[in-house]
Chains A and B, each alone.
Chain A
Amino acid sequence: MKKDIIDELLVISGKGGTGKTSVTASFAVLAGKAVLADCDVDAADLHLLLSPDIRERHPFFSGREAIIRQQDCTGCNVCMDVCRFDAVREFEGKYRIDPVGCEGCGVCVRFCPVKAIDFPERLCGEWMLSDTRCGPMVHAQLGVAAENSGKLVSTVREQALEVAVEKEIPLIISDGPPGIGCPVIASLSGVSLALVVTEPTVSGLHDLQRVLALARHFSVPAAVCVNKWDINPEQTERIESAARSAGAEIAGRIRYDRSVTQAQLQQKAAVEFESAVADDIRKVWEQTLSML
């Protein structure tokens, strides 16, 4: 199968905790067969609903990290002078690099006059290829307090595309990260459609406008779905009208219903149970499919 006939649907939100993962898992069930990609690599949750059988695990190395060899350090202070990330710490004449602050730029390594700084590759996490009841899934876990989540997202997407080509599955559904920074940009660039799941709050509206501006910046078509819309119907109206003005389509509304959490407790997607909210999600799915 050629890459260019594969559709990639990304679910994002701007604001966190609006229901991206619950919607993605339901879409995975409704699609019947799709390749699933969890691009929220620093707080991945999709596996909690899709119970993947892990087939392969791969370490993810990205970038490097500076480490001072104490026995060779002369305490000349050059590393601290050249570091722009406040990562060099000095304590009683001893210099060390705070791994959490190190950007991995290598400037201290290059300028250390006695070459006392090592610069090994940094293990930043792992990515996995799994089987689920809804199709193959690529997911990942970023290391604790690690960097380079954007590159790990790109790896997850590349692998998902490879699986789609190999297994001849023409649809990839991705669960995206919150925000508008590096991992979101890595998730968004080049997808067929971004579905933004938001909530009817002042924060939901504010964050939606920023994430829609980002989608426009990268020329990605966007659709909007208001989750828990009945918490504040007036705000839902405002959000939908702001979405239209920003050039996005409306994919529908999902009501507030505790059965979504009940499904989560049973490691299921909301649409695997009969409920009014399941019907809402089905309508949003059909509307979204028609836009692809």
Chain B
Amino acid sequence: MLRVEGVSAGYGSFQALFDVALAVEAGEAVAVIGPNGAGKTSLLRVVSKLIEPRTGTIDFDGHDLAGLGADEVTALGMAHVPEHRRLFAGLTVEENLRMGAFLPAARKQFSTRLEHVYELFPRLAERRDQIAGTLSGGEQQMCAIGRGLMSGPKLLLLDEPSAGLAPVIVQQVFDMVQRIRSEGFTVLIVEQNIQQVLRVVDRAYLLEVGRIKASGAASELLASDDIRRAYIGL
């Protein structure tokens, strides 16, 4: 589904990623874990082409993404739920979801998908006419994920969905991710909350200062002493 090879990227004179390679197969859920500032967000931004990689190739669903803009990548079937959720704060929940279905192909499916998102997140259905900026943090995350799902993506990118949320809500967010997985979506998720995310994905990569340091099945990484010591603090 997604194949990233030899990707380096950065902003100005700052280099965020060095020769990164990773792959996501259809139906899989894969996590990229690592500490703050490891380059996780940059990695997702390169994959969805919000920033252009300096070297390397990205192949998505049989398409080489070289030279494509983020809007074209979205049209190919990738949905990127950005860091900090980035809802359109002044629009209602339903209008945010409608923006997720902006692509002509998605518009035709708008009502069925809307129903589906409301089934997945009943709270959103209750608040459909509420201004998105006034939602609670957890609800905003639901809305952001829902907006991503509205395009009917083949691959869903989630950037730190648990960031900035209260512990109880964090639990709910990972339940959401679990539910989305069970719907059969392919997911690439970036997280700092390593212990939680490793319970809901199949495989994971460890990213440290812009380089992939380790990878493997989620259960292996969860059991690895190094990772436990360094990141989970047990």
Whether A and B are associated in the same complex: the answer reads no
